[in-house]
C-alpha cells in the first residue's frame, strides 16, 4: 500500500486504541472508586491525545492500552494475564516497563504475574527474532539515543534556559532525582502502598526528568493519573499537558 493509506490506517489504529483505553478505564475507575466519566474524559478529551496521539498515529496509544489492560487484569485477579499484557506494553514501547516492578511488588499473586510476564516475553522474543532477526536489537539503541538528545520543551531544557545552567548538569540532576523517586516508590509499594498510584508517580517523574519530551508522551501518565485516586498526580498530569500545549497544539 502507499504511504498515505498506511498513515491513515495507523491513525485509525491509534484512534481505536484510545477508545479502548477509555473503555477499560471506565471499568478500572469503577473498581477503584473513581467516577468513570471523569476518568474517561481526563484521557479522551485531552487535546494532546486528540491532536498528536491520534492525529500523529503514534504507537504510544497501543503501549498505554496494554498498560491499562494489565491494570484491569490485575484488579480482576488475573495476575498471569496482567503480567503478559504489561510485558507486551514494554515490547511496544520500553516505557511500558515502568509499571512492571510496581505491579510485582503490589500484586497478591506475584508469582502468577511473573510467570505470565516471562511467558509473554519468551513468545514476543521468539516472534521478534523470526520477524526481524538480530537487527531487532537496534530498537533499544534508538531508545537510548533519544535520551542523549534534548527537546526545547522538556522540563530540564526549560530549567536550563531559565537559570543559565548547562543542560547536561540539569539533566543529570533530574535523572538522579527520578532514580531516588523510583526507589522511594518501590519501598512504599512493598510496604503496602497502592501500586497503581506508585506507577503513576514513577511515569510522571520520568516525563519530568527526561530531556527528550514531546507532546504525545503525556498519554503515558494520563490513564494512570485518571484512576490513581491522587489529586496531586492528576494535577501534575494536567500541568504537564498545559506545559506542552504551546509545543503540541496549533494555534
Length of the chain: 251
Report pLDDT for 249: 61
| CB-facing half-sphere around the CA of 237: CA atoms within 13 A | 32
| 54 close to 15: Cβ distance less than 8 angstroms | yes
Report pLDDT for 153: 85
* Residue 210 phi, psi dihedral angles, 5° rounding: -70, 140
CA 129 to mean position of chain CA atoms: 25
Residue of 118, 101, 120, 107 whose CA lies nearest to 186: 101
- H-helix segments, the chain: 3-31, 36-44, 47-48, 60-75, 79-92, 100-106, 110-132, 138-147, 155-163, 167-190, 195-209, 222-227, 231-248
Report pLDDT for 55: 87
> In the chain, which stretches have pLDDT less than 70?
140-148, 248-251
Residue of 39, 200, 180, 209 whose CA lies nearest to 106: 200
| Residue 181 to residue 236: CA distance in whole angstroms | 15
Report pLDDT for 118: 97
Report pLDDT for 246: 82
Contacts of 89 (CB under 8 A, 6+ apart): 63, 64, 66, 67, 70, 96, 97, 99
| Residue 38 to residue 35: CA distance in whole angstroms | 5
| Residue 13 to residue 1: CA distance in whole angstroms | 16
Report pLDDT for 207: 97
- Give residue for cell 539503541: 141
Amino acid at each position: 500500500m502507499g504511504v498515505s493509506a498506511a498513515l491513515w490506517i495507523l491513525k485509525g489504529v491509534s484512534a481505536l486504541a484510545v477508545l479502548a483505553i477509555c473503555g477499560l478505564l471506565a471499568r478500572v475507575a469503577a473498581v477503584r472508586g473513581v467516577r468513570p466519566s471523569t476518568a474517561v474524559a481526563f484521557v479522551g478529551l485531552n487535546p494532546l491525545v486528540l491532536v498528536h496521539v491520534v492525529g500523529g498515529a503514534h504507537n504510544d496509544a497501543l503501549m498505554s492500552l496494554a498498560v491499562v489492560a494489565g491494570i484491569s487484569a490485575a484488579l480482576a485477579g488475573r495476575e498471569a494475564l496482567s503480567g503478559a499484557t504489561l510485558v507486551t506494553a514494554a515490547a511496544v514501547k520500553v516505557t511500558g516497563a515502568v509499571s512492571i516492578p510496581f505491579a510485582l511488588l503490589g500484586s497478591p499473586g506475584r508469582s502468577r504475574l511473573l510467570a505470565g510476564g516471562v511467558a509473554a516475553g519468551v513468545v514476543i522474543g521468539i516472534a521478534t527474532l523470526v520477524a526481524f532477526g538480530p537487527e531487532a536489537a537496534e530498537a533499544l539503541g534508538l531508545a537510548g539515543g533519544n535520551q542523549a538528545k534534548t527537546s526545547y520543551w522538556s522540563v530540564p531544557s526549560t530549567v536550563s534556559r531559565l537559570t543559565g545552567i548547562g543542560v547536561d548538569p540539569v539533566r543529570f540532576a533530574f535523572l538522579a532525582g527520578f532514580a531516588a523517586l523510583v526507589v522511594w516508590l518501590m519501598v512504599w509499594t512493598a510496604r503496602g502502598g497502592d501500586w497503581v498510584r506508585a506507577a503513576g508517580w514513577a511515569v510522571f517523574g520520568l516525563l519530568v526528568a527526561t530531556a527528550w519530551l514531546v507532546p504525545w508522551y503525556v498519554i503515558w501518565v494520563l490513564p494512570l493519573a485518571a484512576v490513581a485516586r491522587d489529586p496531586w498526580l492528576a494535577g501534575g498530569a494536567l500541568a504537564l499537558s498545559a506545559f506542552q500545549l504551546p509545543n503540541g497544539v496549533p494555534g
